[in-house]
Structure 1
Amino acid sequence: MKIVSSILPPEALREEVQKGFPQAEFLFYKGIETAGESFYDAEIFITYGEDLTEEHIHKSKKLKWIMVMSAGMDEMPFKACKEKGILVTNARGIHKIPMAEFALGTMLGHVKQMAALARNERDEVWDRKLPMEELRGKTLLVLGIGAIGGEIARLAKCFGMNVAGVNRSGKDAAGGDRIYSISQLSEILPKADFFVSVLPSTVETRFLLKKEHFAAMKDSAVFINIGRGDLVEEEVLLSVLKTDQISHAYLDVFANEPLPKAHPFWKMENVTVTPHLSSITKNYLPRSFEIFKHNLHTYIKNNKDYINVIDLERGY
């Protein structure tokens, strides 16, 4: 059983995985190009999901399972995988702790004026009149209240926030005081002080947010996007921010990454740019490999108990 990885984890993690599965041949590379011909003989492939093309899939000789070590699947060649009957699983769920902490840190930083305080410290300005606020009593709207969104909601409630969640169906989900369907989004938006999106990129979510959604929000509202950059067209968001329809946008994801130099977002006072790192900590790969190890045991034993199997039609 040949397992090829285009991810090169730390040596200790590689040794741990190899020790746990002595019957498998593991080959770890930094990038699929480095893997070269080894990929085409692999039965199992480990990837971040950004390096595979339809050509790779069609030319593979023995590939049966792809483990994607991330939740985002934007660039995966699902059609080719379906045609060849390849199992695809991912690392959904590992992001909930770092991304929830990132979202809460962003909201706390906003109400406690951390950016202004940092500027004042740099400029040696002693200003006790900065308007400090609290999270308690404010309303958080979480767009995409699944594993990550539910953890954001749980932490927000620890701070005394009111939490509404939005998912496709409007069915109950952990964390929210009330859950709305996407079709009801405009109903709850006017109540939101913070609007956090953790939605993936799919056909259904691409450019989901329109001008009218932002028009429905308070002018004091804060938009935080840690999901995917194609949730809203950039021109729409730029227009919203230039006309102060909301007070601030914290953007960790963009339609084109890295965000180009001289892009207007970099210089806008009511935008904070971060480089798509809300999910990244030193625990990322160890958590991903825990899912991989569970699924590899399943692959070897019964082929029935996989975690995070991807629907190749829907892409998630």
Structure 2
Amino acid sequence: MRIYFTFEPRQDLREPLVEEFSQVDFVFQSGLTTEELQKADVVVTYGEDLNEENLQYATKLKWIFVASAGVEKMPAQAIIERGILVSNVRGIHKTPMAESMLAHILAIKRALPWMYEQQKKCEWSKKVKQTELCDSTALILGPGAIGSEVGRLLHAFGVQTIGCNRSGQKAPHMDVMVSFDKLLEALPKADIVLSVLPKTRETTHLLKEEHFKVMKKNAIFMNFGRGNLVDEQVLIRAIKADEIGYAVLDVFEQEPLAENSPLWTLPNVIVSPHVSSHSSRYVERSLNIFKPSLVKWLDGETDLENVMDLSRGY
């Protein structure tokens, strides 16, 4: 069996993998080549290098392991037609992403951006507007692995959590659950509106002008899921109209964000270049999911962890 990594893990992670699975022929290569695709039984990728054109060369390919949560850039229909199994690393992002989101929330609540600016100007001023996170309410769109971890951390700060998903079914660390069709009723209660939703047809432009109009004027809006959640112009209009207090954005409709986008310079906007999940332990955690799945695969099993339904996008 030949397993083709289209990226190169660190040596200290790669060597134990090769040693543990000595019966496997591993290829580690930065970047994808059609020559290696033609030989591969399994491809391990971040999901951005495979396309419909080069997939046709992968005639032996039976399993794609995606070291990422999103698969929107992959040729879903072609993969489905070929019957190729796809699994991913859903769940490994929860620790770094939850820490990133909590860091932004606390920074805003305790006025850290203002303090940094004062330091740059060498100005000693106590005219600072600080608020407390305690006793606030957070509405979390998409309380899966990441959203639930955020909820767990927010509970430690005395925050009430409202989870919102398609079904409204119960999720861990959510005090209340609502479905998408009840979102307009829940938004006015939230001091923090935080999305970690995946990119699907249903989540595309889920938030519209009417949703921002009912948010609290001092609400912190955070998008750490996918940029399709809201039309950029709708968001810009809401910020300019002071319909929300702050916007913290890790994802955008078009990435990288255009240099002339107003989001770079609008007050009370934080632009994070899609890095909230980055961590020195990212590949380590990915391999911790890959290895047990590989054991099953070598035994002829297809009931792997995090098998994806590409027709649904997750």
TM-score normalised per structure 1: 0.97
Offset, 1:56? 2.1
Output the CA distance in 2 between the equivalents of 1:74 and 1:250. 22
The answer on 1:259 being equivalent to 2:257 is yes
Partner of 1:219: 217
Give runs of aligned pairs for residues 228-243 of structure 1, distance below 5 A. 228-243=226-241
1:255 alignment partner AA: E
Residue of structure 2 equivalent to 1:8: 8
Identity among equivalent positions (%) equals: 46
2:266 maps to which residue? Answer: 268
Shift of 1:14: 1.3
DSSP 3-state at the match of 1:164: strand
Offset, 1:315: 1.8
Offset at residue 304 of structure 1 (A) = 4.3
CA distance in 1 between partners of 2:270 and 2:53 (Å): 39
| Structure 2 counterpart of 1:63 | 61
Q: Secondary structure at the match of 1:59?
A: coil
Kindly indicate whether the alpha-carbon contact (under 8 Å) linking 2:34 and 2:54 is maintained by their aligned counterparts in 1.
Answer: no
- Which one of 36, 40, 48 corresponds to residue 42 of structure 1? 40
Q: 1:13 Cα deviation (Å)?
A: 1.2
Structure 1 equivalent of residue 23 of structure 2 = 23
Structure 1 distance, partners of 2:225, 2:306, is 18
SS of 2:204's equivalent? coil
Q: Which residue of 1 aligns with 2:128?
A: 130
* Matches for 1:78-97 after TM superposition, within 5 Å: 78-97=76-95
Equivalent residue, structure 2, for 1:207: 205
Q: Secondary structure at the match of 2:186?
A: helix
- Other structure's SS at 1:280 match: coil
- Aligned-residue CA RMSD (Å): 1.0
Amino acid in structure 2 at the alignment position of 1:14 = R
CA distance in 1, matches of 2:253, 2:205: 10
Structure 1 runs not aligned, ≥5 long? none
In 2: Cα distance, 1:2 partner to 1:258 partner: 34
1:156 Cα deviation (Å)? Answer: 0.2
Name the amino acid aligned to 1:247.
Answer: G
- In structure 2, runs of 5+ residues without a counterpart are none
CA distance in structure 2 between the aligned counterparts of 1:265 and 1:132, rounded to whole angstroms: 24
Partner secondary structure for residue 276 of structure 2: coil
Tell me by how many angstroms 1:89 deviates: 0.2
Q: What letter matches 2:20 in structure 1?
A: G
Question: What letter is aligned with 1:306?
Answer: L
**Cα displacement (A) at 1:305:** 3.5
- Amino acid of the residue matched to residue 200 of structure 1? P
* In 2: Cα distance, 1:213 partner to 1:294 partner: 43
Deviation at 1:262, TM superposition (A): 2.3
Match of 1:191 in 2: 189
How far residue 234 of structure 1 moved from its aligned partner, in angstroms, is 0.6
Q: Deviations over 1:237-286 (max 9, x none)?
A: 11111111111100111111111212211111121101100000101110
Q: Return the alpha-carbon distance in structure 1 between the equivalents of residues 88 and 177 of structure 2.
A: 26
Look up the SS of the partner of 1:224 in the other structure. strand
Residues 34 and 57, structure 2, Cα contact 8 Å, conserved in 1: no
Aligned equivalents of 2:76 and 2:89: distance in 1?
16
Give, as a single letter, the amino acid of the residue that structure 2 aligns with 1:293: K
Letter in 1 for 2:10: P
- Residues 106-156 of structure 1: CA deviation (Å, up to 9, x unaligned): 110010000000001111111223122110001001000010000000000
Aligned mates of 1:206, 1:75 — CA distance in 2: 15
Runs of 4+ in 1 over 3 A off after TM superposition: none
Secondary structure at the residue paired with 1:250? strand
Q: CA deviation at 1:99?
A: 0.7
Structure 2 match to 1:141: 139
Alpha-carbon shift at residue 86 of structure 1 (Å): 0.4
Amino acid at match of 1:7: F
Alignment partners' CA distance in 2, 1:187 and 1:3: 49
Aligned to 1:288: 286
Rounded to whole Å, the distance in 2 between the matches of 1:285 and 1:101 is 18
Greater Cα offset, 13-22 or 188-197:
13-22
| Preserved contact between residue 215 and residue 244 of structure 2 (Cα < 8 Å) | yes
What residue number does 1:114 align with? Answer: 112
SS of equivalent residue, structure 1 residue 27 = strand
TM-superposed deviation, 1:220: 0.7
Deviation at 1:302, TM superposition (A): 4.0
Q: CA–CA distance in 1 between the matches of 2:136 and 2:13? A: 42
The count of aligned residue pairs is: 314
Determine the structure 1 residue equivalent to 2:161: 163
CA-to-aligned-CA distance 1:283-308 (integer Å, 9 cap, x gap): 11100011111110110114143100
Aligned partners of 1:111, 1:96: CA distance in 2, in Å? 22
